[in-house]
Amino acid sequence: MEDIEIRLLNLESRVCEVEDNQSRDKYEELSIQICILEKLAEFYRQPNILERIEKLKTILQKKSNHTIYINQERTSKLDLINEKIDRILNANIFMNQCVLSQGELIDVIETGFETAQQSTLQVYDELDKYRRYIVRRNKLLRVVIALVVIFVFLLVVKLLY
């Protein structure tokens, strides 16, 4: 409970320091941190912390001016975060109630997201390489087909004359 409280105080000060209309990345980073603390507060049944988190969310939304539009990438990232937190918390319960302290859980979750973001970037790089390979292969295939058509055309012309 103390670890969540300390991190919430830190997050509140960071949200207050953020200027209006700052870069979208800064708001996304803070949103992810809020999401992590919200999940943990729900898990540990901390209604007073949940209320403070809701206030933080509204402050952040007012500062960011992105209340209506949340792009698909950000929504899917938050969904991924929620799913990973659930898995970590459920594993913690399964392994003898509370194997990890709240602080350890927060650290595991945060490092897990950093790893997840890096692996997501690696997947995008691999998909981009594969896409480039497909484009090259298709170009080569078109050239081969064009050469075959020209060869068949020349063969037919030669046979007719």
CB half-sphere exposure, 68, CA atoms < 13 A: 0
pLDDT tens figures, 59-105: 777 777 654 344 555 556 666 666 666 666 666 555 445 545 556 56
Task: Please report, rounded to a whole number, the percentage of residues in the chain having pLDDT higher than 90.
Answer: 9
pLDDT at residue 73, rounded to an integer: 55
Task: Please report, rounded to a whole number, the percentage of residues in the chain having pLDDT higher than 70.
Answer: 53
Mean pLDDT of 16-34: 71
Mean pLDDT of 51-60: 83
Buried b (16+ CB within 10 A) or exposed e, 8-35: beebeeebeebeeeeeeeebbebbbbbb
pLDDT at residue 68, rounded to an integer: 37
pLDDT at residue 116, rounded to an integer: 54
Q: How confident is the model at residue 115 (pLDDT cuts 50, 70, 90)?
A: low
pLDDT at residue 152, rounded to an integer: 94
pLDDT at residue 122, rounded to an integer: 65
pLDDT at residue 67, rounded to an integer: 47
| Helix 24-43 and helix 72-94, axial crossing angle in degrees, nearest 10 | 30
Mean pLDDT of 6-12: 79
pLDDT tens figures, 136-145: 888 899 999 9
pLDDT at residue 70, rounded to an integer: 46
The alpha carbon of 109 is separated from its chain's Cα centroid by a whole number of angstroms, namely: 13
The residue among 124, 35, 129 whose CA lies nearest residue 77 is: 35
For the chain, domain boundaries: 2-127
Q: How far apart are CA 124 and CA 24, in angstroms?
A: 21
Mean pLDDT over all residues of the chain? 71
Q: How far apart are CA 104 and CA 121, in angstroms?
A: 26
Whole-model pTM: value is 0.48
Chain length of the chain: 161
